[in-house]
Amino acid sequence: MSTNTATPAGGSGFAAGPVRVSTVAPGVLVATEALPWARAAALSATILAGSVDEAPEIAGAAHLIEHLLFRGSSKFGPGAVDRLFDELGADLTASTDRCQTHLATWVMAEHAERAVDAIADVLWRPDLREEDVAHEREIVLEEVAMLEDSPEELTFELMGDALFPDSPLGRPVIGRRETIASLDAASLEGFHRARYAVAPVVWVGVGAVDHDALCEQVVATLPEWRAAEIALPTDERRGEPNGAPRRIVVERPSEQTHIAVGVPIFDAHGPRRAALQVLDAVVGGPPSSRLFQEIRERRGLAYSVSSFLELQQGFGAFGAYLGTRPERIGIAVDVLAGELRKIAEQGVGADDLAWARDHVAGRLGLGLETAGGRAALLSSRLSVGMPVVDPAVIAAEVAAVDGEALHEIARETLSGLEHAAVACVAPDAEGAQRALEAAGLATAVHA
């Protein structure tokens, strides 16, 4: 077992305790930060297994397995996992995205060992019984139906395919109806055993934690079928996108037309990552952002308008969203595209840059006020191959984003909107198409 210790620099405003990171087995990391005042522990396990690993015929397998983790395992019968965490006064949350599956909880220190044991057992030894698969399959199909009934959520689901056509990155994490309906216990067991055997894993504990004890428990709970050879990192697994971004317009009954415009991002680390975070704030993050002020506050064209930024290992996406009534879509999209182009061409003034940097730094600082926030930061960095650093280093990277750096990243991401990905859900598809074309969002159409 190899261990590294990163001690936060004194006077940084973020110092709490040393962060210890140990490699306890091939591809298995354990990271802890002991908080002297804490009586509870934030615990999480992140395994790099997600929808990017699925063959097209089993799309949705990773997400369905996440559902089934709560149905029972070698030590826990149906309902027993939920009862355990209810007994501990805690919640066990789970999520799946393109590249990873994440389980997390927050428990009193005296319950940490039981929580880790439960998380490890459901992660490595789930009972993928056919009757449970059939039950959860129906629940996921209901989830798909709920998503399709929400035009805003459906717009973002379509954005993946618009950004990364003909690539595993573009497929919905939730899967598609036809593939979900065909998933059975055998196919799920095959995916689980094949991918979980080789996927890197990151365990994190923050608060009242004992690093050595957590390391020992993680090793003791590893399955005998874990492979010594660990799979390639995410940026190798995903392959290269096979086509240029495109425009997807879907007609649905709705009181509003929903539009998202986005561009793919690759290799966002260090100062480049910080510049994207500041750009996100400037464009559409908080109420002071350009899009919120111009589209909502000044013109009243939308209730919901925002930007989005996703940064995974080796890839991601940046863009903007708005929802507006169909009769106003022409002017709303024109203003949206115009503001994005203006930022790309002119950059931003010193005042906007200053508050945006402060906003990003403030969000970082607020996140570090809780054990769960500190655990999330450790997990998010280690799971995408970034080193653990003093949060003051991250804050310094944000503070170092100057007008030139912001203008450069804005030009790179926003100057070619005619080639951007567009996802749109509208009650009038033809009207939406005309508005998009008039605004210069002329990506090849896939309706």
| Rounded Cα distance, 352 and 282, in Å | 7
| Residue 422: strand pairing partners | 247, 261
pLDDT digits (tens, 9 = 90+) for 391-407: 899 999 999 999 999 99
Of the chain, the percentage scoring pLDDT greater than 90 comes to 79
pLDDT of residue 8: 42
**Closest Cα to residue 204, out of 381, 37, 385?**
381
The residues that bridge with 102 in the sheet, in sequence order, are 46, 95
Q: Where are the domains of the chain?
A: 2-237, 247-438
Question: What pLDDT sits at residue 78?
Answer: 86
Residue 11 has a pLDDT of 34
For residue 328, pLDDT over 50 is answered with: yes
Q: Is the pLDDT of residue 344 over 90?
A: yes
Given pLDDT bands bounded at 50, 70 and 90, which one contains residue 251? very high
CA dihedral 156, 162, 166, 170 (to 10 degrees): -20
Q: How many residues does the chain have?
A: 447
**Sign of the C-alpha dihedral, residues 70, 72, 77, 78?**
positive
Return the CATH number of 2-237, one of 3.90.1580.10, 3.30.70.360, 3.90.110.10, 3.30.830.10.
Answer: 3.30.830.10
- How do strand 257-266 and strand 315-324 relate by DSSP bridges? antiparallel
Q: What is the CA radius of gyration of the chain?
A: 23
Catalytic residues, which ones? 66
The pLDDT-based confidence of 1 (bands split at 50, 70, 90) is: low
Q: If phi over 0 gives left and psi between -120 and 50 gives alpha, with beta otherwise, what is residue 392?
A: alpha
Q: What is the pLDDT of residue 7?
A: 45
> Which CATH superfamily includes the segment(s) 247-438?
Metalloenzyme, LuxS/M16 peptidase-like (3.30.830.10)
- How far, in Å, CA of 106 to CA of 119, rounded? 12
d(CA 172, CA 178): 12
Query: Is-same-fold flag (2-237; 247-438)?
Result: yes
Q: Tokens 């402060």 appear where?
A: 358
